[in-house]
Amino acid sequence: MKNVISKVTLLIAALALAALPAASRAQHFVADTIIPERIAVKSTTYGITSINSLDTYLSGYSFSGGGVHIQHESFRDARTGSYRWKYQTIFNGMLGYTTQGNNGEIAGLASYAWGGYHPFSIGKRLKLLAGAQIEVEGGALYVPSNGNNPVSMKLRAAIAASGMAIYHFPAKGKEWTARLQADVPLAGAMFAPEYGQSYYEIFGLGHAGGTVAFTHPFNSPSLRYMLTLDIPLKWRRHSTTLRLSYTGNIFQSDINSIRCHIYRHSFGIGFARTIFKIKQENKIKAYSPF
């Protein structure tokens, strides 16, 4: 009996020793597979915005002014074995005040966008990305001096073609990163009441037919473009990345006899950071989806 037990024990030990190299290889393979998806570049920038808006539902004149702006972005690799796709999410929020003569207008808009991109490397420093983006935006324009219709609600969703160019270049002994991004809405839907139709008729009396319109580049030609510059810094023994950004938003529509445009130019400053969800060796931590 003892001989049988000892033989079984030796067999188990031999199998365990034989499995160690395979287990080591499997662990290494899994680490190489899951690490990129667990590393994300996140940034938050704050800044000022210049605004020019026209909404003939409220007034036949355009309003100009400024406001404050916040933008939060997350950029990472997709969960695929080859990592040939990138994911991006962007939140934009804006609150501003514009004037036209003695009349004032309060504008508040917030948007959330999710995009997927396929990268194409050109040399060691330039990377081009092409993909699509889904964006949802909501908010309102409010003119206190208006009597019957002081508010124009803004609610829209769209699918956009999107592209980026990311360029890494040396400057002052470190590697800076510049990026240009453009998003062009191709198809979507938006809330669009008729001219002179009050919100009481729509929501109070239930006359909501025709207030949701299909949008495309012919009745709503719009564009968003963004330029960022990431500058590595050394601050109190810690490495950090300063981000300078410019975002231009051009929204236009001519639907149900109402013309509207909202032009925004935002300049921001903030910090970008690389988030690691697991601990690994330094050479793996140096990886970035950018």
The secondary element (H helix, E strand) that includes residue 21 is helix 2-34
List of the chain residues with pLDDT < 50? 1-2, 4-5, 7-34, 280-286
pLDDT at 185: 97
pLDDT value at residue 172: 81
Rounded to 10 degrees, the C-alpha dihedral 143/57/246/179 comes to 150
- Which residues lie closer than 8 Å to 27 by C-beta, 6 or more apart? none
Those residues with Cβ within 8 angstroms of residue 218's Cβ, 6 or more apart along the chain or in another chain: none
The CA-atom distances, in angstroms, between 241 and each of 13, 22, 94, 176, 272 are 51, 40, 24, 9, 5
CA-to-CA distance for 241 and 230, rounded, in angstroms? 6
> Which letter, b or e, does each residue of 146-170 get, where b requires 16 or more Cβ atoms within 10 Å of its Cβ?
eeebbebbbebbbebebbbebebee
* Backbone φ, ψ for residue 131 (5° rounding): -175, -155
What pLDDT is stored for residue 121 in this prediction? Answer: 86
Of 122, 131, 124, 32, which is closest to residue 86 (Cα–Cα)? 131
The pLDDT tens digits for 147-165 are 778 999 999 999 999 999 9
Strand 86-100 versus strand 238-255 pairing type = unpaired
Distance, CA of 275 to CA of 228 (rounded, Å): 19
C-alpha–C-alpha distance, residues 276 and 39, integer Å: 5
pTM given for the model: 0.81
With beta carbons less than 8 A apart as the criterion, state whether 159 and 190 touch.
no
